[in-house]
């Protein structure tokens, strides 16, 4: 993990010397709740944000964080990957993602490799961990996303994901439908989220409103 953080720091510093070859972007968001693969992470309102550095050759690095209601109250992730295209309509993305909880026990932190292929407005992807959250064994998450513009102002997105894992407690399907728009320089996203499980922290016919700002 130390090597990854060093690589991210070095890549970020490179943007100062080669601004033409890289693009830096950021975002900040306030949500009425934060769900991760159909599981409640914040127990209510969540503040999140992140930064990305994307290079012209397709390589990118970034970090993202959010308030949560476990592991000391903070999730801080680091990722690095590569994206490209096979044609005008078919693109791909592969990478590595570290889920960190700097104020909680290190035993809860975990890593994933991920990949996806997109065709037009649809994306099929996966994420694999050989030792998932809290050292509960391996896991594989597969998802399908599809989105399209309703008109010039609104877009609609559909999501389905399924988790298989060594620990049955981590296994569930999650679904969501999101309606998105922009106004006054802000993004507004209203999502309906549900899961195949009931009780506990699993989503059960939940509605989440997110207001975001690109930096």
Kindly report the number of other CB atoms within 10 A of residue 107's CB atom.
11
**Pairwise CA distance, residues 100 & 14, whole Å:** 24
* pLDDT for the residue 80: 98
Which residues on neighbouring strands pair with residue 207, listed in sequence order?
192
* pLDDT for the residue 126: 98
Q: What is the CATH number of the domain that holds 34?
A: 2.40.160.40
In the chain the first and final C-alpha atoms are separated, in Å, by: 27
**Pairwise CA distance, residues 44 & 210, whole Å:** 12
Q: Which own/partner pairs from 18-25 qualify as long-range (CB within 8 Å, at least 24 positions apart)? A: 21/55, 21/56, 21/57, 22/53, 22/54, 22/55, 22/56, 23/53, 23/54, 24/51, 24/52, 24/53, 25/51, 25/52, 25/54, 25/214, 25/215
Structural domain of 18:
2-214
DSSP-assigned letter for residue 2: H
- Is the model's pLDDT at 102 over the cut of 80? yes
Phi, psi of 83 (to 5 degrees): -125, 145
Q: Which residues contact 207 (CB under 8 A, 6 or more apart)?
A: 32, 190, 191, 192, 193
Number of domains within the chain: 1
- Is the model's pLDDT at 3 over the cut of 50? no
The pLDDT tens digits for 121-165 are 999 999 999 999 999 999 999 999 999 999 999 999 999 999 999
The pLDDT tens digits for 65-97 are 999 999 999 999 999 999 999 999 999 999 999
* pLDDT for the residue 19: 47
**Pairwise CA distance, residues 166 & 173, whole Å:** 15
């Amino acid at each position: 993990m130390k090597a990854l953080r060093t690589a991210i720091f070095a890549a970020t510093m490179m943007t100062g010397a080669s601004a033409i070859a890289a693009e830096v972007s950021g975002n900040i968001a306030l949500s009425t709740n934060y769900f991760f693969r159909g599981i409640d992470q914040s127990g209510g309102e969540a503040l999140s944000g992140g930064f990305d550095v994307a290079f012209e050759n397709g390589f990118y690095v970034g970090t993202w964080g959010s308030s949560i209601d476990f592991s000391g109250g903070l999730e801080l992730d680091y990722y690095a990957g590569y994206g490209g295209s096979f044609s005008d309509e078919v693109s791909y993305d592969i990478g590595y993602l570290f889920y960190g909880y700097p104020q909680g026990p290190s035993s809860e932190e975990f890593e994933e490799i991920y990949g996806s292929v997109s065709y037009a407005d649809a994306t099929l992807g996966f994420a694999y961990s050989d030792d998932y959250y809290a050292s509960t064994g391996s896991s594989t998450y597969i998802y399908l996303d599809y989105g399209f513009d309703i008109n010039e102002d609104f877009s609609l997105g559909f999501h389905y994901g399924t988790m298989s894992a060594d620990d049955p407690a981590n296994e569930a399907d999650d679904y969501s439908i999101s309606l998105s728009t922009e106004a006054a320089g802000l993004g507004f996203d209203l999502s309906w989220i549900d899961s195949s499980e009931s009780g506990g922290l699993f989503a059960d016919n939940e509605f989440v409103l997110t207001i975001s700002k690109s930096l």
